[in-house]
Amino acid sequence: MVLNKTMALYLSPECLQYILTYLEDDNHTLHSCLLVNRFWCHNTVKILWSQPWRSYDITQASATSATKLIQTYVNCLSDKVVLLKNGINYQVSSTPQAYDYASFLRALDYDGMYWSISQWLDSCWLYRMLNYEEELKSDTESRLSLDDNGIENYCEYFDEAEEKERKTNLIAKELCNLFMSRCTTFHSLRLETKAIQSNFPFLPSCNDPHNYLSNLRQLICLAEYKSDLLIAISRVCKDLHRICAGFPLSVLWKSHYETDAQNLVTLTEAQSLVTLIEAQNRLQSVCLFGYKRFVSVIVDAFKRHADSLTSLELMYTDFRDNDDFSSLTTLSLCKNLKTLKIHNCFIPPNDELMPLASFSKLEEFDFCNEWNPLYPLPQREFWELMFHNTKNTLYKMSLWWLRTDPKDGYQIIEPISKQCLNINILHLPVLWIDEILDILKHCTQLKIFSFSGDDFDANESLIQMGKQIPITLRSLTIKDGHMGGWTFTEKSLECFLKNCNASLEIVDLTLCSCVTDRHYEILSQRGIITGLV
């Protein structure tokens, strides 16, 4: 629905805020909404500042935004003396804050905040200016006193790093106190390594009448040595809808090269997650990330929420132990599961895997296998049973694995064209042209389709594919494969579009190396979005 200017003038605050919630992950559009008028600004600012770390990443552009974000929150502090006493010099704003930004926070990413504070300390020009002479003097003395090995300069570097970390921790604690005093409720917490290292100064006492985490709906905790934290959270949070627990990717990559990495998952670690799961009233979504041992202990806790669980994600999880493998049968008790994601899991491809194919209400299935052959593909019987059980419900599927041979994965591709006739969204790895044509011929309800193509002259194939595109298709993405990509001319692309009966809105070729500006011109002339915007 497109709002014209007249309609926008008569929207109630509740109606406008409801519409804006559909843009809550789009910072750019929300910033534009701020500028419409005062009414729009007042109703947009709450949503924009509810999840300030929704899309942070470690880049120079995000560092600038992070600096402004922390500066705004520091300006909200009522007592700034503690910062000045600890040598934290910053630019004091003489302009009063337009809004109580801290009170709008609903989702806190502690490690994202920690990184943002670090960027703020680095880039605050007043902080640098006030310390310039002292830093210059220190650098000069260091150069004069350097020995041949540069040991003194090495020690000085780490002294500065420790001092910066101390200041970052101090500011993080002050901002947490600010959020605790200004916010009445929180919906989401993301805690990683820094949260554990700093003892996370954000948890209320279980006897505190002002439990601002009582309405917490999502907890993401990816860190080592988090047992005490999970137990503490279980005492104050009883209505979580989603729990994602495990280990950072850096730890998981390390585990492939160190034999003692399995010991990261201790029985205490597993039992702390069980305590958190069992403390919830009605859990709907669980993600296990990187659990290598005691998986069966955790899965057994799902029985309490077998009726309410609708989403299950198994990421980098090891089911090879006999007890852990048998726990797959427990997962089959979750009869109302609608979303199942399996990424890079050790699951032996034998008959014991079949319980994961029994979900008859499944709507979305996501399977990723990046480290073949360490993670063998399930056998054909698994896929046929899954697609048979979900033929009336499954509408979205994303599959990816290293595929360099037409025979590899044939047990998956063929059942798709035979049984997934109602699929709407389909993302697949490298496909050969006969497989593509077979899928397009039978999956006549496709709306979004993406695949990769290996080194191949696809001029004739592209033209042939255009004739087979289902009329429902709106988005098509072609990417390069492992050994290269499809090669086709702009003339073949023109023929493809002429043969196509579907009203394509998006043709994304940005990850297809053969594409030139002329290809994009052909698409834009037809009003098709090219994926570049």
Q: Are 290 and 316 in contact (CB under 8 A)?
A: yes
Identify each DSSP E strand in 37-187 by its residue range. Answer: 107-109
Q: What average pLDDT does range 391-406 have in this prediction?
A: 91
What pLDDT is recorded for position 176?
A: 92
In angstroms, the CA 427 to CA 399 distance is: 6
Neighbours of 374 (CB within 10 A): 10
pTM (two decimals): 0.86
pLDDT for the residue numbered 93: 67
Structure confidence at residue 526 (pLDDT): 93
DSSP H helices, 49-188, are: 60-76, 81-85, 110-123, 125-130, 132-145, 151-182
CA distance 280 to 214: 11
* pLDDT of the residue at 59: 55
Does 313 have pLDDT greater than 60? Answer: yes
Closest CA to 500 of 521, 478, 475: 475
Burial of 309 (0-12, 13-18, 19+ CB in 10 A): buried
Q: Which residues contact 32 (CB under 8 A, 6 or more apart)?
A: none
Among residues of the chain, what percentage have pLDDT more than 70?
Answer: 85
Token pair recorded at residue 130: 């006030």
When pLDDT is cut at 50, 70 and 90, the band that residue 151 belongs to is very low
pLDDT at 3 over 80: no
Reduced to 3 states (helix: H, G, I; strand: E, B; else coil), residue 367 is: strand
In this predicted structure, the answer to whether residue 81 has a pLDDT above a threshold of 60 is yes
Averaged pLDDT for residues 457-485? 94
When mean pLDDT is compared over 205-209, 296-300, 529-533, the highest value belongs to: 296-300
With a cut of 70, say whether residue 292 has pLDDT above it: yes
- Axis crossing angle, helix 60-76 with helix 110-123, rounded to the nearest 10: 90
Instruction: Extract the tokens encoding 196.
Output: 């554990």
Q: How far apart are CA 296 and CA 87, in angstroms?
A: 50
- Predicted local distance difference test score (pLDDT) of residue 174: 92
Residue with the two structure tokens 């929704």? 54
